[in-house]
Structure formats: structure tokens, C-alpha cells
Amino acid sequence: MTVQPAKIALRGDLLDFTAAPAWGEVDPAGVRWRPDHWLLVEDGRIAGALPGGQPPGDDWARHEYPGRLILPGFIDTHVHSPQLDVIASYGTELLDWLDTHTFPAEMRYADDAVATAGAARFLDALLAHGTTSAVVFPTVHRLSVDRLFEAAATRGMRVVAGKVLMDRHAPPGLCDDVVEAERECTELIERWHGHDRLAYAVTVRFAPTSTPEQLAMAGRLCTRHPGVYMQTHLAENRAEVEWVRSLFPEARSYLDVYARNRLLNERGVFAHGIWLDADDRAALAGAGAQIAHSPSSNLFLGSGLFDWRANCDAGIAVSLASDVGGGTSLSMLRTMADAYKVQALRGERLTAWVALHAATRGAARALHLGSEIGGLETGAVADVCVWDVAVGPVAVQRDGLARSLHARLFAWMTLADDRNLVAAWVAGRPA
């Protein structure tokens, strides 16, 4: 086994954020752009930066990437590890998608060999797209969580995940029981939460697949184990919203179902959040919860157009998510490009800065991990990716005609994909 040098230096164009960019600004103060700099990494953490003309000493292993972007690794805040098997499946909206594609795929993860191979394939695919941290739905099976966390620990990745909770409106092989599920979740929390770079999330699939008793149990877990996350789906599809209304007539809204069960908190990651009203947005903002916006999935499944501006104005943290397999790519660049299209259909214009921030520093801060990931500050863990700005004659020509940094980055965000990734480093180790 090759021993990785304790001190490495990466030379390229450093880009990250010192503050959240304002909506619509193409030249915000919070963008930190340091062309031709050395990024210094020591023992897996960022140790500082130097101008390119001031190289570090000979005791640093140097890697030079002239003209290439060096960014923090992307953070995908909502993705389903078993659904790589059903990505790009034809012809359904959300509820049919679950029955026709998702549930059969997740049933296979009861098999240890499938879960083991699936976890490795999924995490390697994330890294191949420049994603170094993720908030993940495995399956209802405990071993799917164990295998995912084991694989993440081997790779040194920051992963948040938890056993999916479902005890109704799903195939028998995917339904658990409240008492057994509580026991399994407790054991998984004790084993994995805070181990290496792993964190546990109480994972409610969505309100319709949990009985009131299971939702109450999930709330108890969040209260009993401070520091765990909570992840679920919220108001993704109009038919889903109507189903929730019929199942929980006592609740004011879909979000209120979660709030009544102590599942609305500052560590809550709510995927989608398309069909919300002003009261819902105020409640999310007041709790400090985030919305994991999943534009590729929303477009592919025809779920609706997320009102990013309204959530921004309400003070809600919005992060970006691939939502594979409803989403059609693990690439956060493809996700950003689709986010732009969603906002364009709403009459808004999403800047490259707002999109990039939501996939890096913004997501990290929403997850209370801003000192660890999402930026290139001294002391942060060295989850770093190196990118070609342009690959292929069309992109190269477009990049050469760009007249501003935002124009270059917007074209990169729109045209690039995993072919643009040159190198990825996780905690200072090449991935």
C-alpha cells in the first residue's frame, strides 16, 4: 500500500465562498477567487494558500494544475443509494415511480452481496462526479446502512444516512415494525453516529408510508439523540400532497405532520418542498431546517417548479441535491444546470454563484458542517476537486470568448460534466 505524503500542495485557480451570494448578483463580494495559487494540505486538512510564484518547500509533494479550477468537493444533500438501479426509467410520476421502480429495486438490498456491491458502486460514482459528501437514503434494511457506512469509512467520506422507516403503504418486504425499527435505529446510532466522518439521520421515507405511531417514534429518536439529523420528503408532487391531506386530516399542512411529531428541527433535511405556502416557509425558516432542492428529479418526474426565490426571501437554507434515481445524473453540475432551467421557467435567473454556493459552502452550513467541508479555509478537511473549465471544441471556444469570471463559470456549470473532473481528493487522499 502506497503511503500518502503528509504534506501536499495543489497549484491551480482556487474558488470558494466567504459569504452567501445575493440572488441575481453576478459580481458578489462573497466569491473568493485566487487564480494561480498553491493550496497547502497537511495531514488531511487545509493548511493555507500561497501565490503560485511562491512555491512551498521541498518537503511538500507538489501537484500542478495550471489553468484548472480547484474547488471544494460537492455536497449532495439528497440521494438514494439503491436507486442507481432504476435511474432513467420511463413513464411514471412520483407515486407510480415508487411502486413500479423504486420499491422493487430496494427489495433487492435485503441481500448482503447486493447491498455491499451497491454501496461501493454508489460511493465510487459520487466521487467520479466530484461529490465528496452526501446525505443518503439507503433502504429499510439495517444491513444496507451498515454496508453504506462501512464503504464510506473506507473512503474517508463525509456521509449522513440512516435506516429508512416505513410501516405501511409499501411491499411487506420493505415494511418494518415500530418496536423493531426503534431498536435497530438506536443500535445504528450507537455504532455509527460520530464514527470517523459519519453521521446518522433518522430517515422517514415520507409521511404516507409511516403510521402515526412510527412518526412519533422517529420524533423520540431525534429528541433522545441530540446531534442526529432527520431526513424525509416534503411536498414533492400534488397527488402526494392530497394523499397526505387525506391520511392526516388533523394537520394544517404536509409540513405540519412532521412538526406535530417533533421532526421539524435545525438538523432537518427536507427534500423537494415544491408545494408549500407562506406559513410552511415561515415554519421551516424558524426551525432552521433546509430544503434539498432536486431540480433534475422534479423535471424528470414532472413534479413541479421549485420557487427558490420565495424560499430565499423567507430565510430558508436551500441546498442542491441530485435525488438519483428520480434525478437523471449524480453530477452536481448537471443538477445546477437543471436548477437554472427550473428558475428560468419561473421567470427568474439563477446565477452560477448561488448554484455553486448551494452545492458547497451553503450546503455545509445548512448541515452545521461549515468548519469541515464546503470551503477552502485553513483548518477545513481537504475534500477538494480539480476541474477543467472546458472540454471539447465547443466548450473551449465558449470559454475563450467569456468576458467575466461569472460568464466563464456559468458556461462551465452549463456545459461541463464528469469528463471535466481531473482529480478528487478526500481528506487529503486521492480518490
Task: Output 323 or 92, whichever has higher pLDDT.
Answer: 323
321 within 8 A of 78, measured Cβ to Cβ:
yes
Q: Where are the alpha helices (DSSP H) in 235-331?
A: 238-247, 254-260, 278-287, 295-300, 308-314
333 within 8 A of 131, measured Cβ to Cβ:
no
Mean pLDDT value across residues 193-211: 97
Q: How far apart are CA 69 and CA 36, in angstroms?
A: 9
Mean pLDDT value across residues 293-312: 97
Q: How far apart are CA 95 and CA 239, in angstroms?
A: 8
Instruction: Provide the pLDDT confidence category of residue 196 given band limits of 50, 70 and 90.
Output: very high
Q: What is the pLDDT of residues 353-407, one digit of tens each?
A: 999 999 999 999 999 999 999 999 999 999 999 999 999 999 999 999 999 999 9
Instruction: Provide the pLDDT confidence category of residue 97 given band limits of 50, 70 and 90.
Output: confident
pLDDT of residue 98: 87
Instruction: Provide the pLDDT confidence category of residue 3 given band limits of 50, 70 and 90.
Output: low
Rg (CA), the chain: 21
Return phi, psi of residue 14, to 5°: -85, 135
The full set of domains in the chain, from first to last, is 7-72+375-430 (2.30.40.10), 74-330 (3.20.20.140)
Question: Positive or negative, the Cα torsion across 26, 31, 34, 40?
Answer: negative
Instruction: Provide the pLDDT confidence category of residue 1 given band limits of 50, 70 and 90.
Output: very low
pTM for the full model? 0.97
Q: What is the pLDDT of residues 315-352, one digit of tens each?
A: 999 999 999 999 999 999 999 999 999 999 999 999 99
